[in-house]
Homo-oligomer: A and B are copies of this chain.
Amino acid sequence: MNEQEALFEYLLRLGDNALILGHRLSEWCGHAPALEEDLALANVALDLIGQTQLWLNLAGTVEGKGRDADKLAYLRDTREFRNVLLVEQPNGDFAVTMVRQLYFDAWHYLLLQGLTTSRDGRIAEIAAKALKEVTYHLERSREWVIRLGDGTEESHRRMQTALDDLWMYTGELFEPDEVDRAMVGAGIGPDVSTLHEPWLGLMRATAEEATLTLPQPGWTQRGGKKGIHSEHLGYILADLQFLQRAYPNATW
């Protein structure tokens, strides 16, 4: 894999994470626990869709085969998707959605922070824009985790279950592979393994305030970054891509 290919892969990961998590959040639209949350979840989803466009358009440019963000989002099959497993997990209840969001937001925040100093100016620029948005995402998911962890007995129980259930999908976020290493080498992206400690610090502080118990390190589910997903992703794509697949020559 040369640097350009690695960069393409890297950008797909950034874009696909935003796309798939945005998709999941948009499934809440009209079904949230309160109107304010319909608004807030849609806001986060919108930010993520916007980031998807930026990352995938850049990926298409880097690839140089004439694919834009829409082509990349709508015309790849599951094995070509590069999002981490965490973001494709089903919404579950509001507790699962919020814990998934906290786990992701905190990592996303730290990653984007690293990317703002990327040697690739295009990436630094997108990261700076996204970082502003994700700062709010993280603030919000932290608040909800605390509120629900320290809310009622039921909410506490649901939050602890969600925390435990999703934990095994967090390891993948901090495991560098050859793509990540190539990006570190090229001064393009941060070493994700160095994000683990600050992330854990954030998680510990949040869990404590939420009166929740952070799970112990354990088995890690991995594969998303290499295109080996859970069985959920295929169904996401069947919906997401239906129109583009069914009407291949149309513009919308």
Contact = CB atoms under 8 A, between A and B. Distances in A.
B242 A238 contact: yes
A218 interface: no
A245 B243 CA distance: 10
Contacts of A239: 235, 238
Contacts of A245: 242, 245-246
Contacts of A77: 246
Contact of A241 (B235, B246, B248): B246
Interface residues of A, number: 11
Contacts of A234: 242
A234 B242 CA distance: 9
12 contacts: A77-B246, A234-B242, A235-B239, A237-B242, A238-B238, A238-B239, A238-B242, A241-B246, A242-B245, A245-B245, A245-B246, A248-B248
Nearest to A242: B238
Interface string A216-252: 0000000000000000001101110110011010000
Interface of A: 77, 234-235, 237-239, 241-242, 245-246, 248
A38 B173 CA distance: 39
A242 to B, nearest CB: 4
Contacts of A241: 246
A242 B242 CA distance: 7
A78 to B, nearest CB: 10
A238 to B, nearest CB: 4
Nearest to A247: B77
A241 B244 CA distance: 13
A29 to B, nearest CB: 14
A86 to B, nearest CB: 24
A161 to B, nearest CB: 22
Given A234-B242, A245-B245, 10 more contacts: A77-B246, A235-B239, A237-B242, A238-B238, A238-B239, A238-B242, A241-B246, A242-B245, A245-B246, A248-B248
